[in-house]
Structure 1
Amino acid sequence: MRKRTFLGASLFLGLGGLPAVLAGAADATTAKTKAKTVHGRGEILWDTYGVPHVYGKDEASVFHGFGYAQAQNHGDIVVHLYGEARGRAAEYWGPQFAASDRWMLSNDVPARALAWYKASTPQFRKDLDAFAEGINAYNAANPGKIDPKIAVVLPVSGVDVMAHAHRLMNFIYVAPMERTMGAPVPGAGNNGSNAWAVAPSRSASGNTMLLANPHLPWPTSYFTYFEADLNGPGIKMYGATQVGLPVLRFCFNDHMGFTNTVNSMLGATNYELKLSGGGYLFDGKVLPFKTRTTSFKIRQPDGSLKTESLEIRESVHGPVFTRADGKTLALRVAGLDRPDGLKQYWDMGMSKSFAEFEATLRRLQVPTFNIVYADKAGHIQYMDNGILPKHPKGDLAFWRGDVPGDTSETLWTEVHSYEDLPKVIDPPTGWIQNTNDPPWVATYPQVIHYETYPPYVAPPGPESLRSQQSAHLLADYKKLSYDDFVAHKLSTHTLMADRVLPDLVAAAQGDPDPEVQAAVNLLKAWDRETVADSKAALLFETWANLFSPNNFTSLANYKVKWLAADPIGTPKGVADPAKAVAMLKAAIVEMKQKYGAIDRPFGEVSRFAIDKVDLPGNGGFGNTGIFRTITWGPLKDGKRIPVHGETWVSLVEFSTPIKAKGLMSYGNASQPGSPHRADQLKHLSDKTLRTLWFTRAQVEQHLEGRTAL
């Protein structure tokens, strides 16, 4: 059964030898003062799901309360992430973090974060400081609640907040270390966010509706989501963000709302250099590297600190790295001159009209992510947002690879404007959607087309089956009530089964093998829902993985491949019926080996399990065309649990008053001992949602506790 633990670079490894003398050590890059206590700043009302409803006397007080709340529910993760963003994680926790520190220092993240902090408006600097002060205040008021081995990072400052955001946005999302260094990127291939906006013309009530539904890995890390309600003079925001960020990335207020999905925009380029004479070739000349030397400390098993010298080389492209395969690469990242991504998100959430929101989007400070918007006035928008370099030639595949760095012809110096980026505003269809796919089917019939944009903006296709299912759940209905909207969001229907199962059943009908006939009868009776009591869903999934390998993406065995002319109706059919039947026989063998029978109920094997909670699962792999995405991990002791998928959900109807339902699948806290680590799994298992308590009166009726700020 899963305990919530850190993922990837954030794994808690080798902490046992940390000496207690460091428990109060302050970082030189942080404020050297003790955590500030300013009485009368407001309060936090905690509801029965552990959601903080922050009420601040002014803007900075709201940030202070938000920081305090994050420390209470996710303090171990947040403070650890801030230590990593400083480039001092190896000093705090040992050599397993040395590669991360080298990446931070080589890319100037700590130094640039300080410059970005200083470039912020005076008010936003106060906000960042107040958020950090909230974290420090929680620790001061609750000594020992944050793991002392992690609390060595404290106190934190507004610069730390900025550094974490900079690392997350620019050097995890846009330019992950693994991509440059030739290693697998964490979470790659498991993008699963869903977003919908429905205009009044397609709404049964005449009110606009918005779905926010990001999916990221479940083990706790910088990907973990946190739900909150922020209130102050002129401030009303409800939504979620990733832990450590001081602003909501998924947000609605009384007037509007917005959400994000991961897009394919390439804001960074890896240039392969040709070395020569101690330098590198560029336009027929040998240029010397610019070099500088810094150092960082690495904690040893006995608690002592070893200093490692780090020589940082730079070419005209950017910092230079040597990969394990011997290649020398230079990294160039767009947007390093744009410090106001956090401020843009804050102002997006403060918007009260589409005009205000669009003016904020035009700043292009947020370096990546699709953005989907809806408002009470009836406007909806999809935007393939990001800071995108301009290139004279080449498609997405070319610029995603190792680009020749020996010529100025490939060295980009400009980025695209807001006007250049694909977007859909108030389409005649009355709806927009995105599920991480290219922008071309943001609505259907299409209003934006691949041919009208440079080929490096996004791939032409194919449209994933989950994206096609998303489009059908909107396009196939003339009007959607709010109840319809919720029901469609919870859909566990498997579109891939609609496309291939009739051909498979027809091909296998005459096979004399009794086990094949038993499988055919199961598949024929299946309603194609991937739910707990289904006795055919596991069998179909097992067969589908053979029919369409590579995470259900291969089109080789379909009779009709994906067609740009029919983007939400293809692929379909079985190309080789005999081969498909052979795959069914192989799936039967695999089912019996792994699950003991071909008709094991889906929820007996697939479990929603955290700590002591262990419940039947539902939902499945998005690439099989299931909108309710759950990426199931490997089988262990006869069961499997999610590694990725459904996390934060909100469904809002901009009625009077607002209707809002939602869920934080794995709970709104990760701190040891919190009652909110797994208290929403029952909703996930039951395919139900919570009412999101948006007003103070609602919160007071469901109150768990109060914290005075």
Structure 2
Amino acid sequence: MMRSFFIRCGLLSVLALSACQTTEPLPSKRGNPEILWDNWGVPHIVAVQERDAFYAFGWAQMRSHADLLLKLYAMARGRGAEYFGEDYLSADRSVRLLGIPALAEQWYQEQESGFKDNLSAFAAGINDFAQRHPEAVSDQVKAVLPVTPQDIIAHTTRVMTVFTAGISECGAVLPGFDFNNQPPGSNGWALGAKFSSSGHTMLLANPHLSWHGMETLFEAHLLMPDLNLYGAALVGSPVLQIAFNDHLGWTHTVNPIDGCDLYRLKLAGNHLSDGYWLDGVVHDFALSSETIRILRADGRIDSEVLTIRRAMQGPIIDHAGEILSVRLALLETQLLNGMNRQWWEMGRATNLEKFQEILSGGHLALFNVIYADADKNIMLAFNGIIPQRSTGDAFFWRKTLAGDDSRLIWKQAHYYQDLPKVINPDSGWVQNSNGAPWYMTLPRLDKNQYPENIAIDVTNNRELQSLRMLAAQQKMSFEAVIAAKHSTHSLAADQLLDDLLSVARVSNDPLLHQAAAVMNQWDRQYLAESRGARLFSLWFAKWIELTIAKATEVNPSYVFTPDQLLGSRFYLRPFDSSEPLITPSGLANKPLALTALRESISQLLAETGELDVSWGEVARLRRDGIDLPGNGADTDLGVFREIVYEPDVDGKLRSFYGDSFIAVVEFSKPMRAQVLVTYGNATQPQVFETSSQLHLSAKQQLRPAWRSQNEIESNVQFREFLSYDTLDIYENRTR
């Protein structure tokens, strides 16, 4: 609902720019926060005080994502089933089992007083928006209101717990804490001055996440007297988590840390009440209970009592007949209580020394930190709350552990100073695409310099493609980084296609010859116009499926894990960590590859009636009624531009995961920055129109990040003047 309207140069007081005429009186309280919404739905928040900036950020997230935000907060309370039905019950049980709501209450009380005020302001912005604009919030989620600061901490704790458990063995035993076979991914580069054509450092931020739900990113801009901070946050976060200011910037990539362990407990009798063995002594479980309310389909509210048992290692789960205990480092060490404050302080840092001092707090649960600054420094730090384990390698700790040996119960996390990192390497660049830290630059790091259980030595084809692209250059321009970010070239095609074509050509099957001709003409890209891309991707998936099936036939106990994909079961010349630029290559089993090709031909002809169908005809960028030819593909195909597609109801493939927030930043004067939120910056119906960013994604384009007064004022669609103390809300629509 619109209230009073007026036009104002909203950046004047903060940026100390020249005066401008106003046509209506200004709000009586000076220094109130303002939000200028641009053509793309990005909020530019202008504030003098920190708490005002947090208040406006909460308000802005509600305008763009109210229903999603409130649903996520309900789940963080462990009350999703109460508000939304029994489909949320299993996730509620996991949240209560891990004690997340209780930890949130404790950690809120332990916050530094100033940051506690900021969290309260963020919650107030959420609640005040809902009070002022009830029509903008669906009735289904209104019961979640009001939001508390504890909800914010519970939500960010739950999100990081899902990330940590979901990339480890623990996700499989914690309902609601896995990623449905599509774990989060990311690309990140920092390029030094000597590797940059302009002589200025550059940063590429490129997380790959689901386009729905908890992993949705929100782009925003904060302007304060001493801060010009631009970036993105997962919806519900009170702070920007990937960002850059006038001095420095950072991005995150998901790193293969093991922050969660499973222990198989040895019961002392036939019942849980008999206790469990530890070091030859019987111990009782610590008992507590939680009551969970459940909204049934017929509208009834039921409740169940969840009995929670804890062993020395952590809470226990009865999984597939085994009594397991789950131990999560981010919940056991108390470090996570400083996470949101640490991200906020990272955004306020102005140099590498201060930035590293902040990182040394060790409050981020996981993620590599990839950094560049205006002083021509670059860095990649392997980061996270990683247990100090006294024995065993990384693969040992990925298995279910003996629960009767207290020596396997770790107590401390590694210090930031002890974790792998590279600062200003001779190569001139650092990179990560979700592989082990040893490949963050070339020459690779010596993993023997670090504990053998700090990380599994794994990589993937997308990271190998990243390494090859960087190693092939002497210098890169800003434009070249943008072009490389959008590369759809398939490394898997380079590794395997020649062998596949050779065996197809010597066969007696005309369809195999026809398929070979199509793939021989293919440009080895996943562009919309690429013909042969769909046939190769079908073959690739069938080849993996048949290889796994053959291994299982030979050994029924065989279990495939993604780290095997570059190994000898698949490749004639498997991946060699000493030669990451030229391995793996070749088909390990050519007859099996030919069988996979025959099956792929049959499937594609049944689906489309032709073998040379273009990629964009099958793969579609779809969102909110928009339907465009797609580009990009997934990690295993070795495509740097990761967009993952799933079957849609019409037989096409629709985009659902991959490139989300993208930023390419050059720390020049003036700074250059191009950005994109592939799926758009709102899930909530807007009171103002915004352009669709999916159209830019289809064209493999980014857009300027508007950070100056002139840029913002020239592109304002809608502005709001807020007052945290008085709730006087002024709105103005600008055309």
TM-score by length of 2: 0.88
* Map 1:472-511 → 2, pairs under 5 A: 472-511=468-507
- Residue deviations 1:206-257 (CA, integer Å, cap 9, x gap): 0000000000112x21100000001113222100010000111110011100
Amino acid at match of 2:407: E
Give the deviation of 1:182 after TM superposition.
7.8
Offset at 1:163? 1.1
Query: 2-side partners of 1:261 and 1:169: how far apart?
Result: 13
Inter-partner Cα distance in structure 2 for 1:704 and 1:104: 40
Q: Give the aligned partner of residue 44 of structure 1.
A: 35
| C-alpha deviation, 1:548, in angstroms | 3.5
Secondary structure at 1:274 match in 2: coil
Contact 1:95 1:300 in 2 (8 A): yes
Q: For residues 680 and 495 of structure 1, what CA distance do their matches in structure 2 show? A: 28
1:519-530 correspondence runs (5 A):
519-530=515-526
Matches within 5 A, 1:676-687: 679-687=692-700
Match of 1:332 in 2: 327
Q: Is the 8 A contact 1:610 1:678 kept in 2?
A: no
Q: Matches of residues 398-437 of structure 1 in structure 2 within 5 Å?
A: 398-437=396-435
Amino acid at match of 1:398: F
What is the rounded CA distance, in whole Å, between the counterparts of 1:222 and 1:579 in structure 2? Answer: 40
Residue 331 of structure 1 aligns to a residue whose secondary structure is: strand
Name the aligned partner's letter for residue 326 of structure 1. G
Alignment of structure 1 residues 226-305 onto 2, 5 Å: 226-277=218-269, 278-305=274-301
Distance 1:678 1:569, change over 3 A: farther
Q: Distance in 2 between matches of 1:104 and 1:582?
A: 46
Residue correspondence of structure 1 range 524-673 to structure 2 within 5 A:
524-549=520-545, 553=565, 555=567, 556-672=569-685
With 246-255 and 103-112 compared, the bigger mean Cα shift is at 103-112
Q: Which residue pairs with 2:702 in the alignment?
A: 689
**CA-to-aligned-CA distance 1:534-581 (integer Å, 9 cap, x gap):** 111111111222334478936423221111221231111233444433
Q: In the alignment, which residue of structure 2 is the partner of 1:5?
A: none
CA gap 1:678/1:408 in 2 versus in 1, 3 angstroms: farther
Query: In the alignment, is the contact (CA less than 8 A) between 2:94 and 2:176 conserved in 1?
Result: no
* 1:207 aligned onto 2:219: no
SS at match of 2:370: strand
2:727 matched to which residue of 1?
Answer: none
* Aligned partner (choices 163, 170, 179) of residue 172 of structure 2: 179
CA displacement at 1:304 relative to structure 2: 4.0
Does structure 1 conserve the Cα–Cα contact (< 8 Å) formed by 2:215 and 2:235? yes
**2-side partners of 1:335 and 1:183: how far apart?**
18
CA-CA distance at 1:319 after TM superposition: 1.6
**CA distance, structure 2, for counterparts of residue 189 and residue 87 of structure 1:** 24
In the alignment, which residue of structure 2 is the partner of 1:196?
189
SS of the residue corresponding to residue 340 of structure 1 reads helix
Matches within 5 A, 1:21-32: none
Q: Match of 2:52?
A: 61
What amino acid is aligned across from residue 246 of structure 2 in structure 1?
A: D
* Cα pair 1:493 1:627 within 8 Å, conserved: yes
For residues 464 and 499 of structure 1, the distance between their equivalents in structure 2, rounded to whole angstroms, comes to 13
- Cα separation, 2, equivalents of 1:195 and 1:166: 24
Is the 8 Å Cα contact of residues 666 and 678 (structure 1) preserved in structure 2? no
2:456 is matched with: 459
CA distance in 2, matches of 1:408, 1:677: 57
Give the alignment partner of residue 446 of structure 2, picking from 439, 444, 449. Answer: 449
Residue of structure 2 equivalent to 1:33: none
Contact 2:164 2:259 survives alignment (8 Å)? no
For the residue of structure 1 that corresponds to 2:586, the secondary structure is strand
Give SS of 1:479's match: coil
Q: What aligned pairs does 1:70-149 form with structure 2 within 5 A after superposition?
A: 70-149=61-140
- Please tell me whether the aligned partners of residues 110 and 163 of structure 1 are also in contact (alpha carbons under 8 angstroms): yes
Q: Which amino acid aligns with 1:632?
A: Y
What is the Cα deviation at residue 652 of structure 1? 0.3
- Whether 2:303 is the aligned partner of 1:310: answer no
Mean CA deviation greater in 468-477 or 99-108:
99-108
Distance 2:283 2:300 in 1: 40
8 A Cα contact 2:228 2:707, kept in partner: no
Secondary structure of the structure 2 residue equivalent to 1:111: helix
Task: Report the CA distance shift for 1:675/1:230 in structure 2 as closer, same or farther (over 3 A).
Answer: same
Q: 1:102 to 1:343 in 2, by over 3 A?
A: same
Unaligned runs of 5+ in 1: 1-36
Structure 1 length-normalised TM:
0.91
Instruction: Output the CA distance in 1 between the equivalents of 2:275 and 2:89.
Output: 26
Larger mean CA deviation between 396-405 and 527-536 belongs to 396-405
Once the two structures are TM-superposed, the CA of residue 473 in structure 1 deviates from its matched residue by: 1.5
Measured at CA, do residues 401 and 138 of structure 1 come closer, stay the same or move farther in structure 2, by a change above 3 Å?
same
Are residues 242 and 512 of structure 1, via their aligned partners in 2, closer, same or farther at CA, if it must alter by over 3 Å?
A: same
Cα distance in 1 for residues equivalent to 2:474 and 2:32:
49
Per-residue deviation, residues 34-58 of structure 1 (Å, max 9, x unmatched): xxx9885220000000000000121
Size of the alignment, in residue pairs? Answer: 669
SS of equivalent residue, structure 2 residue 647: coil
Q: Aligned letter for 1:441? A: Y
**Which of 700, 712, 719 does residue 706 from structure 1 map onto?**
719
Q: State whether structure 2 residue 238 is matched by structure 1 residue 225.
A: no
Maintained 8 Å contact 1:665/1:681? yes
Q: Gapped runs of 5+ residues in structure 2? A: 1-27, 549-561, 723-735
For 1:288 and 1:471, how far apart are their aligned partners in 2? Answer: 52
Is the 8 Å Cα contact of residues 364 and 385 (structure 2) preserved in structure 1?
A: yes
1:93 Cα deviation from its structure 2 partner: 2.2
Distance 1:639 1:143 in 2: 38
CA contact (8 A) 1:174 1:367 kept: no
One-letter amino acid matched to 2:373:
D
Q: CA deviation at 1:595?
A: 2.5
Contact 1:231–1:237 (8 Å) recurs in 2: yes
Matched to 2:350, the amino acid is: K
Deviation at 1:674, TM superposition (A): 6.8
Correspondence for 2:384: 386
After superposing the two structures, state which structure 1 stretch, 619-628 or 301-310, moved more. 301-310
Secondary structure of 1:335's aligned partner: helix
Structure 1 residue 105, shift from structure 2 partner:
2.1
- Give the CA deviation at 1:141: 1.4
SS at match of 2:89: helix
Matches of 2:460 and 2:361 in 1, distance apart?
Answer: 31
Distance, in Å, in 1 between the alignment partners of 2:176 and 2:363 is: 28
Q: 1:325-361, CA deviations, whole angstroms, 9 ceiling, x for partnerless residues? A: 1111122221331210000111111110000100001
SS of the counterpart of 1:415? Answer: coil
Question: How far apart, CA to CA, are the structure 2 residues paired with 1:585 and 1:304?
Answer: 54
Q: 1:107 to 1:586 in 2, by over 3 A?
A: closer
Tell me: CA distance 1:281–1:454, structure 2 relative to 1, closer, same or farther (3 Å): same
**What code does the residue aligned with 2:482 have?**
V
2:349 and 2:471 map into 1 onto residues whose CA distance is 29
2:566 and 2:575 in contact (8 A); partners too: no
1:575 and 1:170 mapped to 2: Cα distance? 39
Residue-by-residue CA offset, 1:644-697 (whole Å, 9 max, x unaligned): 111110000001111111110100000146777881111111111111112121
Is the 8 Å Cα contact of residues 90 and 175 (structure 2) preserved in structure 1?
no
CA change 1:690–1:187 in 2 (3 A) is: farther
2-side partners of 1:346 and 1:652: how far apart?
A: 20
Q: Which amino acid aligns with 2:47?
A: G
Residue equivalent to 1:321: 317
